Amino acid sequence: KAGVTQTPRYLIKTRGQQVTLSCSPISGHRSVSWYQQTPGQGLQFLFEYFSETQRNKGNFPGRFSGRQFSNSRSEMNVSTLELGDSALYLCASSGTGTRGLFDTQYFGPGTRLTVL
Amino acid sequence: KQEVTQIPAALSVPEGENLVLNCSFTDSAIYNLQWFRQDPGKGLTSLLLIQSSQREQTSGRLNASLDKSSGRSTLYIAASQPGDSATYLCAVSGAGSYQLTFGKGTKLSVIP
């Protein structure tokens, strides 16, 4: 069974640009969550999508947005990039729907975003 | 607001030693607790998941315990190996979603 895939793996952007990151969950999973990881703040929750609906959102500005498609693939978008957005962005998939909220979260390798 | 703390932040041990990593959380109303491993520059690998109704889980040389009432979990690693060197993260999920709240991690170095 293929794991969680994220594309691209590395991105370099300049301040003010926008970026779109993609995440393909494990086949059959309906939930995709996004996290930002920085050395100072650690792992912080961005948002979670379940069956195309945003179920939860973390404490990030409106420049951060996301969506989920009918095949469960998800994208997140960051507009008007700032230097502080440089981070490793991780997505996690879970939720076959049969075990409820006890499902293990499986993480992708991440997208390393550098903002210059 | 849930907060997760991991102690120590870093740990260095000689190969073969048994060790314990600690995790504490402020809100005992959790659905489950997961331990992850992260190698430098990589994503997270799930090691163990403990449901809120369970007390412990075991996988190979790893054993994780959960005391929900006191807001604590421990990850026990037996007979440590250099390949165990990584950052270990503890995370809890609450009601209603798969959202995880993470600790800052414990960076483990196992010296050959």
Helical (H) or strand (E) element with A43: strand A42-50
Maximum CA extent, chain A: 44
Q: Evaluate if residue A111 carries a pLDDT over 90.
A: yes
CA dist., res. B108 & res. B10, Å (int): 6
CB-based contacts of B32, cutoff 8 Å, min separation 6 = A101, A102, B49, B50, B51, B52, B92, B93
Residues in a beta bridge with B93: B32, B100
**Measured between CB atoms, does A101 come within 8 Å of chain B?**
yes
Residue B6 backbone phi and psi in degrees, to 5: -125, 130
Regions of chain B short of the pLDDT cut 50: none
State the pLDDT at residue A28.
86
Q: What tokens does B88 get? A: 């270990």
**Residue bearing the bigger pLDDT, A29 or A80:** A80
Report the SS3 class of residue A105. coil
Q: Are strands B10-14 and B106-111 parallel, antiparallel or unpaired?
A: parallel
Band of pLDDT at residue A101, cut at 50, 70 and 90: low
For the segment A90-95, the average pLDDT, to the nearest whole number, is 90
B contact test, residue of A107, A112, A114 with most B CBs within 10 A: A107
Q: Tell me how close the Cα of A6 comes to any Cα of chain B, in angstroms.
A: 10
CA dist., res. B44 & res. A90, Å (int): 9
State the pLDDT at residue A96.
62
Please report how many Cα atoms fall inside a 13 Å half-sphere around the Cα of residue A54, on the Cβ side: 13
**Measured between CB atoms, does A32 come within 8 Å of chain B?**
no
Q: Tell me how close the Cα of A79 comes to any Cα of chain B, in angstroms.
A: 23
Residues in a beta bridge with B51: B32
Q: Evaluate if residue A105 carries a pLDDT over 90.
A: no
Residues of B in contact with A108 (CB under 8 A): 43
